[in-house]
Homo-oligomer: A and B are copies of this chain.
Amino acid sequence: MHKFSVGVLGASGYTGRELCGLVVRHPSLELSFASASSQAGSTLRIGKREITFIDSEDAPLGEVDLVFSALPHGASAIWSDRAARAGAKVVDLSSDLRPGNAHANGAPYGLTELMREQIRCASTVANPGCYPTAILIALAPLFKRQIVAPGTTISICAASGVTGAGFTPKPELLFAEIAEDFKAYALGNNHRHLAEMRTVMKGMNADNDLLFVPHLLPVARGILATITVALDHQMDNPLSLWDEDYGDEPFIEVTKDTPSIRDVVRRNVVRVSAIVAEGIRQPTLTLTAAIDNLVKGAAGQAVQNANLMLGIPETTGLPA
């Protein structure tokens, strides 16, 4: 079977390691290199295979079919550009190229289920942030139908496992600091993912403000977003909208029961539910959406996009 050769830039963090694991187990991809400049020479074990990190400067960008960049925000754009000039297709997992960010260059936004056709033809894709993946997949059926009450604020309370905060050691991420704790962060509504979500929403003609309060969970992986959204009219069976839009999607699960992180961990899925909030004068829905921040929220969706870009069946090599 033909295998496409791919490389991973920035392979030593949580997202990079997850990507390497997915690529190594992918039947149609071959891991050509994995770079981690600060740890060049050290190794990563995946099952029985050992991968040795190289310096990014030594990466043979021109010899692979596709490059994933999991380099840090701010450092990734230039490497994605280098890889593209060298002739590789590129999936950039940093925030650099995403809508609303400084380096955004018009590359299609890799929220696969909403952008499939653009991604298929793209040479570079800006892979979405973890929170936006869960939140925008949950909200899209409402924006598409223009039934959110205009001018209202959509209130989003979300919580992420600590791998979302990265692999760089900081005192506040030590086990003894995180265990048995829970807190909000980025209060004041200033999280980096907000610009991304606002820009994408504008493209969907949504006239709404976003209030976004992320929280840090004492779990390794997973995101749960709980979204309060006001409608312009009362609905009887809101879930039917998601069923209609996503019923055939292999990686979206619409459920009556509220999704939990456990349902989605290690899987490339968004699990979403919608329910009418009772006892409130303004017609209001509560949406809940769960993903694995490292899979559908990062490495898994990146592979899903790469599959499209390389002409491989979209679900190949992805745990559903």
Contacts and interface: CB of A to CB of B under 8 A. Distances in A.
Interface in A36-56: 47-48
Contacts of A213: 157, 226, 228, 286
A224 interface: yes
Instruction: Count identical subunits in the complex.
Output: 4
A201 interface: no
A298 to B, nearest CB: 14
A311 interface: no
B180 A179 contact: yes
B182 A220 contact: no
A190 interface: yes
Interface stretch (A27-35, A111-119, A126-134, A271-279): A271-279
Contacts of A173: 169, 174-175
Interface string A166-187: 0101110111111111111101
A188 B276 contact: yes
A209 interface: yes
Nearest to A262: B181
Interface stretch (A3-11, A139-147, A253-261): A253-261
Contacts of A174: 162, 167, 169, 173-175
A155 interface: yes
B260 A183 contact: yes
Interface in A185-223: 185, 187-190, 194, 209-211, 213, 215, 217-222
Interface residues on A, range: 35 or more
A174 B179 CA distance: 10
A161 B261 CA distance: 16
Contact of A157 (B157, B180, B217): B157
Contacts of A284: 153, 211
Contacts of A230: 153
A164 to B, nearest CB: 10
A209 B280 contact: yes
Contacts of A187: 258, 273, 275, 286, 288
A151 interface: yes
Contact of A182 (B211, B224, B281): B224
A187 B151 CA distance: 25
7 contacts: A155-B228, A159-B159, A180-B222, A180-B265, A183-B262, A188-B286, A209-B279
Interface of A: 14, 47-48, 151, 153, 155, 157, 159, 161-163, 167, 169-171, 173-185, 187-190, 194, 209-211, 213, 215, 217-222, 224, 226, 228, 230, 253, 258-262, 265, 273, 275-282, 284, 286, 288, 290, 320
